[in-house]
Chain A
C-alpha cells in the first residue's frame, strides 16, 4: 500500500481519517467507514439547512483565497432556469502544494460525496472534476471511483432510490498554472484557451457554459461530508474563530520529515516545523518560511511564531494560501529562491495582460543576472519597484502571486541581494539545494 508519509501524532485526522486503511480508495472501504452517510443526511435537509451548516462550519476556500464556502454557495441563484454545475478545481499547481493529490489518491469517494452534497445545496445535477494534466494517474483513480459509484448506485439518475440525480465526470487540464484561476479553468473546461474571464459575472452566476456554477478546491469539497456528519459548529470548533476545521498542510524544504499533515487551523508554525516536521534538517538554523505556497510573501525566522490560520497570517502581511509550507534553512540563497519562484511565474503567465506577461519575464532576467553575480546596486530597489508595478494592476491574481513574494524577498533579505553584486559569486553556491515539493 502506498504511504505518502509517516503520520504525526499531532495530527487531527478528519479529512484524512481513511488514508491509512487498506484499499482506502475503494468504495467498499469508504462505505464501511461513514462513506456517503453525510449525503444520506443531507438528502433529508433543505438547501438552506445544508448551506447554513457549511456557513456555521467557518469553512474557507482551501484553494488559497480563503473565501467563506457557505457564502459562496449562497450566491448561486436557485431560481435560475439554467442547469447548475458543481466544478472541482483539482488543478493543484501552486509550488509547495500537494494536498489535493493525496485527497484524490487515498479517498476519492470523499470528494465525490462532497460534490454530491454541494449539488443538493444548490440544486445541481452535474459535477465536473478539472484535474491538471500532470495528475494523469489521479484522473485514472478518480475515473475508477466514479465508475464504482455509478455501479453501486451512488451516482446516476436515481441515487439509492431517492430520486435524486447526480452525474460526475473528470476533465483533464493541459498543464497551465493559470487554469487554477477559476475563470481560466472554466474557459479551459469549455475547450478554449486558458485565459481568465472578465468578472463580474462571477461563476456562481455565470460559470461553466454561462450557467450558475459552484467552483471550489478539492479540499474544500472534501471537508463537506465531515461538516454535515459532525455538524457545522462542531467542525468549526476544531479550528480558530472564523477559521473552521482542519486543513492539510504540505510541509517541504529543509526539515527532517517533509509530508502532508492534517492539522487544526491555527496550529503554530514553529510547532509545525519542529514537532510535526521533525525539526530542521542537519540541525541547521531556520532562515525563512513560505507559509502557503509560492505566491505567499516569505516569513523571516523571527516571524514564524504564528498561528496558521487565514487571519493570523494575514496580520503579518502574508497569506495562508494553499497550505504549502516551504521551510528554508540558513544555507538558502534568497536570491535563488526568488529566482526559482519568478522562473515559475514567468513560465506560467498566460500572456493576457501586459504587466504580468512582460513584468514576470523582466524580473526573471534580472534575478537570474543577480544570481550570476551580475547585479547592480540600483537594481535591488528596481526589483521591488517592478514588482509593485505588477501588483494590483494585472487582469487576474497571477500577477499578484508573482509580485508579492518578490517584494517580500527584497524587503526582508536585502543582505542576500547585496551579497550578489559586482561580479561576486553566490555565497551559498555550495550549500544544499532548495527542495520544493
Chain B
C-alpha cells in the first residue's frame, strides 16, 4: 500500500491513505463536516455545498466531499467564512422547504432540522412566496412531497447504485426540480423502501408508517428478520406493543442499513387475527387453548413416552431461524431426544455443495465475503429476489471494489447488469455449467456476455 498522506485539519496533524476524502478523514478524527448529499459508498455529488471548507493556498472554499487529502494540506472547518457559508446554504434551503415541522412525519429525526439547529440562523430573511407542488403517491408504500425535498439525490443513487433498480430520476430544472419515478407516475421497483429510509427529510415517506406516531414515542427493538436465510437485523419501532415500523438506521447487524421489502414491511402478521398466539392441545378432536407450561409439559411427556418405548426422532430445523436457535435445536435433538437425524427445508442441492467442499476449511462464504472478495459466482438463483441482502453486497462490492460477478442462471437476472460474465444454462442444469461453459462457453457467446 502507498505511503499515507500527512495533512492538518483544524490544527490536528493527521494521516490517511492517498485518495481519502477530506470529509472522511475529518470524520475519522472526530471532526464533523456537515453534508446532505455525501453518503458513504454512493457516487459523489458535491451538490449540497454544506461541506465547504477552507484549504490554505486555495483561493475559494473547497467541497470536502470530493477533495482528496494532499500532502501538507491545511484544512480549516470552522472559520467565520465556513460558518457563514453553512448558515447561508441552510437559509437558502429553508426558503422553499415548508416550516411545518410539528406536523411533518420526519419531525424529530430530520437531518435538515438537526442541521439548522446546529449550523443555521435563528431568523430567516425570506419573506416571499414559497414554491409549492402537491404531494404524490408513487406506490402503496412510497409518498413524495416535493416541497420538502432538498434534492440531495440520495434516493436516486440508493435505487440505481445500491439496489440496481434505477426507478428514480430527476425532472424539471432549477428551483422546481423534483425527484420523479422514471416510469412517470408510479414506481417500477422492489418497494424495498431504501429511498424512504435514506431520505434526510420528510420528502419520501412510508405509506405503512406515516402519521401513525412521533418517532420519539416508539421503542426501538432489535431483532432478526425471519423472511429468508440472510439473517438481517431489523430494528422494529414499537409503540403500545404494536410494531409500527421496521428499519435498521443504526446500521447494527450484518446488513448495515440494508433491508429489503420483507425485512422492512413484513411484520403486520404479528397482529393478524388468525395468527396463533397461544399453544393448543387437541382433546377429544377439539383444539383447546392452553398455557405454555401446560403445552411444554404435554410435549415433554409424549416425547418421553416415545423414547421409553424405543421410538425414533427426526428433527427439521429452518434456515430462517437464527444461528443461536438452530444451535439450541440440534443440542436438544442430540442430548434431549438422542438423535442425530437433523435436517432442514432445502431449496438448493446442498448435498452436492457439501460434498464439493468436504475436507476444505474456510470454504463456506459469509455475507461479508460477498462484499469483500474479488469475485462472486452466482449459480442458479435470482439473488435479488431470493437473497436480496447478498445481492446488495455483491453489487456494492462490484461498484466500490471492482469485484467480478459471474452469473450462471437459466434466465435474465438483475445481477447481469453488474456481471463480468453471464452464462445462460438450461433450467435445472445451472450447476453443470462448469464442464460446458468454462472451456467452450467463454467467448463463444453462449448466453449474452455483458461487460462493464
Contact = CB atoms under 8 A, between A and B. Distances in A.
A350 B61 contact: no
Contacts of B131: 361
B364 interface: no
B419 interface: no
A351 B44 contact: no
Contacts of B44: 198
Given A348-B173, A354-B150, A358-B96, A395 B128 contact: no
Interface stretch (B86-94, B297-305, B324-332): B86-94
Contacts of A340: none
Interface string A182-208: 000000000001000010000000000
Interface string B222-237: 0000000000000000
Interface stretch (B7-15, B24-32, B45-53): B45-53
B151 interface: yes
Nearest to A396: B46
A400 to B, nearest CB: 10
Contact of B93 (A198, A351, A354): A354
Given A358-B96, A361-B131, A353 B60 contact: no
B77 to A, nearest CB: 15
A352 B170 CA distance: 10
A365 B151 contact: no
B47 A352 contact: yes
B174 A354 contact: no
A83 B16 CA distance: 35
Given A198-B66, A348-B173, A357-B175, A362 B47 contact: no
A393 to B, nearest CB: 6
Contacts of A366: 128
For A348, A350, A358, A369, the residue with the greatest tally of chain B CB atoms inside 10 Å of its CB is A358
A395 to B, nearest CB: 6
Contact of A354 (B49, B128, B129): B49
Contacts of A369: 128
B308 interface: no
Interface string B158-175: 000000000001101111
Contacts of A394: 49
A355 B61 CA distance: 14
Contacts of A395: 46-47, 49
Query: What is the predominant secondary structure among interface residues of chain B facing chain A?
Result: loop
Contacts of B172: 351
Contact of A350 (B49, B88, B95, B173): B173
Interface string A23-62: 0000000000000000000000000000000000000000
Contact of B170 (A198, A351, A358, A393): A351
A431 interface: no
A351 B175 contact: yes
Contact of B95 (A198, A352, A362): A362
Given A362-B92, A395-B49, A351 B128 contact: no
A362 to B, nearest CB: 5
Contacts of B92: 354-355, 357-359, 362, 389
A351 B152 CA distance: 11
A354 B173 contact: no
B129 A365 contact: yes
A349 interface: yes
B174 A349 contact: yes
B119 to A, nearest CB: 13
Given A353-B47, A353-B48, A365-B129, A393 B174 contact: no
A351 B174 contact: yes
B174 A350 contact: yes
A333 interface: no
A352 B48 CA distance: 8
A351 B151 contact: yes
For B46, B131, B170, B175, the residue with the greatest tally of chain A CB atoms inside 10 Å of its CB is B175
Interface of A: 176, 178, 193, 198, 346-355, 357-362, 365-366, 369, 379, 382, 386, 389, 392-395
> Which 10 A-B pairs give the minimum distances between C-beta atoms?
A351-B177, A358-B92, A389-B88, A349-B174, A365-B128, A361-B175, A392-B60, A351-B174, A353-B47, A362-B95
22 contacts: A198-B44, A198-B66, A347-B173, A347-B174, A348-B174, A351-B173, A351-B177, A352-B45, A352-B47, A353-B46, A354-B47, A355-B49, A355-B89, A357-B175, A358-B93, A358-B175, A361-B131, A362-B95, A382-B125, A389-B89, A389-B92, A393-B52
